[in-house]
Amino acid sequence: MDPIADLLTSIRNASQALKPEISVPHSGIKESAVRILRDEGYLESFNVEGDVKRSIRIHLKFQGRKGIISGLQRISKPGLRHYTSVKDIPLVLGGMGIAVVSTPQGLMSGHDARRKNLGGELLFKVW
């Protein structure tokens, strides 16, 4: 099982179906990824619900009848990890999208990792 791929698939499907919100099972890496997407303007908001069986409720952002997120791509997978140095972190669509990188200081967007001079595992790209 790949929790990041499950999260990205849920977001992609909900965006295409014009669902305003979704709920996914909670994990720390999912919460960090959703926080980055919210901070970068791809999601409206999110909140963590429940005590014992926690979940993340994600509120998607739309522009008219179209989702803000037009594409998601998983890069590093459990069967084939993709590590990158700071100079090789890609610019997604010439800077119009973001790459999410898992660094020694936690998950962060590609431009934050470049600013802090950190490389790491390239998890996914969003545009």
Q: What is the pLDDT of residues 8-62, one digit of tens each?
A: 999 999 999 999 999 999 999 999 999 999 999 999 999 999 988 999 999 999 9
**Which of 52, 67, 82 is the last residue before a domain boundary?**
67
How far is Cα 127 from Cα 98, in angstroms, rounded to an integer? 7
Q: Are residues 54 and 91 in the same domain?
A: no
Q: Into how many domains does the chain fold?
A: 2
- What local confidence, expressed as pLDDT, does residue 95 receive? 82
Report the candidate in 4, 41, 43 with the shortest Cα–Cα distance to residue 24: 4
Q: Are residues 52 and 11 in the same domain?
A: yes
Residue 78 pLDDT > 90: yes
- What local confidence, expressed as pLDDT, does residue 37 receive? 97
Q: Are residues 63 and 77 in the same domain?
A: no
Q: Are residues 91 and 121 in the same domain?
A: yes
**Which of 67, 98, 116 is the last residue before a domain boundary?**
67
Regarding predicted confidence, which is higher, 124 or 95? 124
Domain that holds residue 90: 72-126
Write down the pTM of the prediction: 0.92
Contact 98, 111 (CB under 8 A): yes
